């Protein structure tokens, strides 16, 4: 059984009593206040809502959609994180940087420093099927990169951080 309810707000981002939450489906288009164009950025439609169930996302990594009621804390992770929690962080305006396990250690260090120095960046390893060595994702937007040294990575972070449907929510 599912219930249609409004999009989440920070104070509602936790399971209801008994650990159950209803599913939600609220259209939350990718939008930004920036008019900056970054070569290679793809835009996708995304809906917002909560579900405790595992979600199969059409994009790798996911760019938005129904997600877990609990978000993933923004920082650097050397292991994969649950997609459903990372998507919730995207909704809050986070940038999610995913990288292949074979990304050169110098690039991993750049990503780790970036994620640890900003309150709006989540970075994690992606073990299988990542379409490029490094992928930067914001709510409804994605940029595939070959290296963390590509200047478009920082341009993407500066342009799309805090541009999700729930800006200024915790990450």
Q: Are strands 134-138 and 95-99 parallel, antiparallel or unpaired?
A: antiparallel
Mean pLDDT of the chain: 84
Is residue 59 predicted with pLDDT exceeding 90? yes
Let me know if 160 is exposed, middle or buried by CB neighbors in 10 A (0-12, 13-18, 19+): buried
pTM, 2 dp: 0.82
Is residue 157 predicted with pLDDT exceeding 80? yes
| pLDDT band (50, 70, 90) for residue 35 | low
What pLDDT is attached to residue 168? 81
What pLDDT is attached to residue 84? 97
């Amino acid at each position: 059984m599912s219930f249609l309810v409004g999009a989440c707000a920070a104070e509602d981002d936790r399971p209801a009593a008994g650990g159950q939450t209803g599913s939600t489906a609220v259209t939350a288009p990718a939008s930004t206040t920036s008019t900056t164009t970054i070569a290679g950025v793809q835009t996708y439609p995304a809906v917002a809502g909560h579900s405790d169930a595992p979600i199969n996302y059409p994009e790798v990594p996911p760019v938005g959609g129904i997600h877990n009621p609990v978000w993933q804390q923004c920082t650097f992770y050397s292991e994969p994180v649950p997609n459903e929690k990372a998507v919730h962080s995207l909704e809050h305006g986070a940038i999610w940087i995913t990288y292949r396990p074979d990304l050169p250690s110098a690039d991993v260090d750049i990503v780790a420093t970036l994620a640890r120095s900003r309150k709006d960046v989540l970075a994690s390893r992606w073990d299988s099927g990542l379409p490029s060595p490094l992928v930067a994702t914001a709510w409804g937007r994605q940029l595939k990169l070959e290296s963390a040294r590509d200047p478009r990575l920082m341009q993407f972070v500066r342009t799309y951080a805090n541009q999700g449907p729930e800006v200024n929510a915790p990450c």
